[in-house]
Structure formats: structure tokens, C-alpha cells
Amino acid sequence: MASNNSIVSFILDGKIVNIDFNNNNKYTPITTVLEYLRSLPKHKGVKEGCAEGDCGACTVAIAQINNYNQLTYKAFNSCMIFLPQLHGKQLITVENLGTSNVLHPVQKAMVTNDASQCGFCTSGVVMSLFALYKNINNPNKKEIDDALAGNLCRCTGYRPIIDAATQACAYDGIDKFTKNEAEIISLLKSINKFSTIAIENDTQKYYIPFTLYEALKLKEKHEDAIILNGGTDVALRVTKKHEFIAEIIDISEINELKQIKVNDNSIEIGAGISLEEIKITFENNFPQLSSLLSVFGSKQIRNKGTLGGNIGSASPIGDTIPILMAYDASVILVSTKNERKIPLRDFITAYHKTEMEKNELIKSVDIPKIDKDTIIKSYKISKRKTLDISTVSAGFRLNLDENLIIKDIKLFYGGMAATTKRAEKTESFLIGKKWERKTVEQAMPIIFEDFNPLSDARSSDEGRKIMARNLLLKFYLDTN
């Protein structure tokens, strides 16, 4: 049965676009923003290079109203965003930045520094730099590199692009968008973000609730619906595996899932907070989590991916899981009937399986505050520094007494089994012994007894064992 509230609205080219999916044969709820833009006559600048968030050729910027009634501009991969996810936002493409007569400062700097050759990747590079321009004035080399980590450019080389970024981003983010912000905010506020959007037809259902209670009611009614929080994993099922997803509950608009609560002994992080926001916010509280996230995909991916999504996928190579286990984090699950808290170490039961019931959602992740005597480190080994899934990852936790005797040690490894797994035999050997190189070298071979990993395209089983063993030695060296 069709809903009366099936219209998705967003701003493009300075105007509100309304798409009624219940009365539209051109687009489906799993049409990507990339596909949508390519279907329009005047938005061909966006390109498809990989359709999996690796190349950045499809990068766009999306503006949203923040808690301070201001617009924030962030870069995203349009190949990984379903069209309904634009609801209540402003979509900005390279065509919106400037004209051939009046270039945007970023475009002008790209031209001045000869930062383009074939041009295929250029629009995506420009959009990443536009987001940088709007967020950081006079960025340093590290900040520029981070902004460009998700953009491949095979022919120009990055030096002139970096020069262009340095030259362009020196105007406090002031541009034509600044002048129009009041008008855009007014338009965005006129878009419905209160009553649940229900896209329903004979083959597909897509829901966008705006409260946690409404989302939980939908989950009770549609137990097998796919939960879309960030969508960096779900989108690939459509773009790469060509799956047809019949039911989706999109919880990415629920503010209750984007809260940070500071308790006496812990910090509770909402499941809907983006990984990029977590990376920035918790540099001091949880530095090892922040450090890991700096090599978690690109900024475009971190802007979209969420903590709840990364944990809920229960992937054996989910990068955040080993370090969160080392932090002794817990998952808070919620349904319409109750709320419960489960240690993350017990939450994942098997390959892509968790303790979560069909009527539950992940509300937040609770991380205890760490005392000064606890040492925590995170590691990731992959073929590429940022845009790559880990081959082996690890989260380690260590407590020593005043004589450097190991009181407690936890060694969590990803990529070594069907789930994130502890090296329990190695831990048992180490407890009670002195934390010194001799002890660690004696423990390293025991790693081979703890794991029996698979061989795949990333590494052989033997290679993984050697990596896991060597990470223990690296942990010792980093703590010594």
C-alpha cells in the first residue's frame, strides 16, 4: 500500500528537488546519487571510476544544517549514497562551483598550477578540495593529504594538486556559497524531517524514520529489513554484487543516535555518529581509536561510515572492533520493550553474526575511561595505507606493576579468524612475567598456536601468522 509521505526532497542548483518514488518509474530507492546525476543533462562532471569508494572520481559535497544553525560542507562518494539519503540536504556538484568566466578559488588554483591532465579525476579532486576549502583555512600538508587520500589521479601527479590546495584554501572559506547560506538554510528547514518517509511499491520498501521510537516500530514490523546507518557496506552490495534489496530502514536521520554522553566512568558514543567525527572528537580521550581511524578509508568514506555500522557488520576485518575490545567497550542495544548492554567481546558470536535480536538496533557504544596505568595500542597492516581493508589488525591492552610484571594483558586480533579473536594462549604465557624483550620473544611463537587463519588474496595463512607474531614485538617496542 502506498504511503502519503513518499517524497524525498533535497536542494540541487539552489532549488528544492522533489522525487516521489511511489509515482516514479525512472529512479528506485537504491538508485545511487552518482547514477542520478549522470542521468541529468547538466551534471556530467561526476564520473564513475570504481563504484566502490576507491577512486574519488564521483566525489560530491553535501551541505547540512548543524546544531548551531550553520551549514557544514563535507565530501562524499556519490557512488555509495542512495538517492533517498539526500533528503533534507544540499547536493553540490562541480558544476555548481563556478563558470568558465568566474571560477571558484579552488578551480582557479587548479588551473594556475597546471593540476589537471586527462581531467577524468579532476572534478572529484576539485570537490574534495572544495570541502577542505570550506572547513580548514591555510591547511597544512597533512590536512591536504588527508583530504585527497580518497582521490586517485594517475596522470597529473599530486604535487601540483597539493600546490593548488595550498594556494586556494586561504580565504576563510568565503565564496558565493557563503552569501547564499541564509537562503539555503531557510529552504532546508522547509523540508519535512518529522514524519517518517515511506517508499512502498510492489517490489521494494524504503523507510526514513526521524525518531528512534519510529525506527524500532518499523524494525518490529519489518524484521528482515536491512538497516542502513552509514551505508558504506550496504551500498557495495548494490553497486558491486548487484543485489536487489527489498526492504531498507534508513536510520541515518535519527538525532538520538548521534549523541555523545559523558558519564562518570565512561563515554557513550551514538551508533549514528560518523567515523570522521569520532576521529576528530576523541583524539584526547581515546587516542588509539582516533589514530586507527586516520587510516580507515578516506575522508569521503569516514564522513559516511558510522561506528554502529562497522560493529553491526560483525566483520572479522572490521577495523574498529579489535581496538574497541581492547578499550573494553560495550554495545547498548535497544528495542521498543527494553535496553540492554553487552560487552563487545561477547557481542559477536560467529562470522557476521551477533547477539542482536531481530527487533533491536545498536543505540550506542559505551567506552570506559582509561586510567593512566593502562597501556592501549592499535595496529593495522594492509597493502595500502588508507584505502584498504586490513590484512591483520590488532588492539592490545597491558597493565604492569611497579616492577614491570605483567598483571594483565589482552591481545585482540582481526583478520586471523572468523571473528575478532584473542590470543589466549599467548596471554596466559605472558601474565605474571616481566615485560621485557626476552619474555616477548619467548611468547611470539605461541601466537602460531592461537590462530589458524585462512589464505586469501591479501595474504597466505603463514604470512598472517608472521604479521600477528611481529605485532606483539612491535607492541613491546612501542611501550618500552
For 235, the 3-state DSSP assignment is helix
Beta bridge partners of 16: 11
| Cβ-proximal residues to 466 (8 Å cutoff; 6+ apart), any chain | none
CATH number of 7-95+181-250: 3.10.20.30
Residue 193 to residue 155: CA distance in whole angstroms: 44
Angle, CA of 286, 234 and 196, to the nearest 5°: 90
Nearest to 197 by CA among 251, 241, 156: 251
| Confidence (pLDDT) at 23 | 85
| Confidence (pLDDT) at 389 | 86
Percent of all residues in the chain with a pLDDT value above 70, rounded to a whole number: 99
User: Which residues of the chain are in CATH 1.10.150.120 domains?
Assistant: 105-174
User: Which residues of the chain are in CATH 3.10.20.30 domains?
Assistant: 7-95+181-250
Residue 122 to residue 212: CA distance in whole angstroms: 40
Q: Where are the alpha helices (DSSP H) in 136-180?
A: 141-148, 158-168, 176-179
What average pLDDT does range 124-132 have in this prediction?
98
The string of pLDDT tens digits covering residues 242-295 is: 999 999 999 999 999 999 999 999 999 999 999 999 999 999 999 999 999 999
| Cβ-proximal residues to 316 (8 Å cutoff; 6+ apart), any chain | 351, 414, 415, 416, 417, 418, 419, 420
What average pLDDT does range 52-80 have in this prediction?
96
| Mean per-residue pLDDT over the chain, rounded | 95
Strands 247-250 and 226-228 turn out to be parallel
Residue 271, judged by CB atoms within 10 A of its CB (0-12, 13-18, 19+), counts as: buried
Statement: residue 383 has pLDDT above 80: yes
What average pLDDT does range 116-132 have in this prediction?
96
What average pLDDT does range 303-321 have in this prediction?
93
User: Which residues of the chain are in CATH 3.30.465.10 domains?
Assistant: 255-479
Residue 64 to residue 258: CA distance in whole angstroms: 14
| Domain covering 255-479, topology | 3.30.465
- pLDDT category at 368 given cuts 50, 70, 90 is very high
Residue 299 to residue 168: CA distance in whole angstroms: 19
Q: What is the CA radius of gyration of the chain?
A: 23
Contact 147, 128 (CB under 8 A): yes
Better-predicted residue by pLDDT, 81 or 389: 81
Statement: residue 2 has pLDDT above 60: no
| Domain covering 105-174, topology | DNA polymerase; domain 1 (1.10.150)
Statement: residue 157 has pLDDT above 90: no
Statement: residue 55 has pLDDT above 60: yes
What separation in angstroms does the CA of 148 have from each of 38, 230, 283, 468? Answer: 23, 21, 21, 30
Burial 72-99 (b: 16+ CB within 10 A, else e): ebbbbbbbbbbbbbbbbbbbbbbbbbbe
Contact 84, 21 (CB under 8 A): yes
Task: Kindly state the DSSP code that residue 405 receives in the 8-state scheme.
Answer: B
What average pLDDT does range 441-450 have in this prediction?
97
The string of pLDDT tens digits covering residues 203-222 is: 999 999 999 999 999 999 99
What average pLDDT does range 44-54 have in this prediction?
94
Helices (H) and strands (E) in the chain, counts: 19, 20
| Confidence (pLDDT) at 1 | 34
Residue 283 to residue 286: CA distance in whole angstroms: 6
Residue 279 to residue 122: CA distance in whole angstroms: 27
- Sign of the CA dihedral 334, 235, 268, 257? negative
Residue 34 to residue 338: CA distance in whole angstroms: 40
Residue 383 to residue 460: CA distance in whole angstroms: 13
Q: Residue 137, Cβ neighbours under 10 Å: how many?
A: 13
Sheet holding 7-12, edge to edge: 15-20, 7-12, 90-92, 59-65, 71-77
The string of pLDDT tens digits covering residues 417-427 is: 999 999 999 99
Contact 89, 64 (CB under 8 A): yes
Statement: residue 480 has pLDDT above 90: no
Strands 90-92 and 7-12 turn out to be parallel
The string of pLDDT tens digits covering residues 172-187 is: 999 999 999 999 999 9
Sheet holding 226-228, edge to edge: 197-200, 205-208, 247-250, 226-228
Contact 61, 73 (CB under 8 A): yes
Residue with cell 538497516: 227
Strands 330-334 and 260-262 turn out to be unpaired
| Cβ-proximal residues to 403 (8 Å cutoff; 6+ apart), any chain | 434
- pLDDT category at 365 given cuts 50, 70, 90 is very high
For 322, the 3-state DSSP assignment is helix
Contact 347, 263 (CB under 8 A): no
pTM: 0.94
For 451, the 3-state DSSP assignment is coil
| Confidence (pLDDT) at 387 | 81
- pLDDT category at 4 given cuts 50, 70, 90 is low
| Segment holding 35, helix H or strand E | helix 33-38
| Confidence (pLDDT) at 154 | 85
Backbone phi and psi for residue 210, each to the nearest 5 degrees, phi listed first = -115, 0
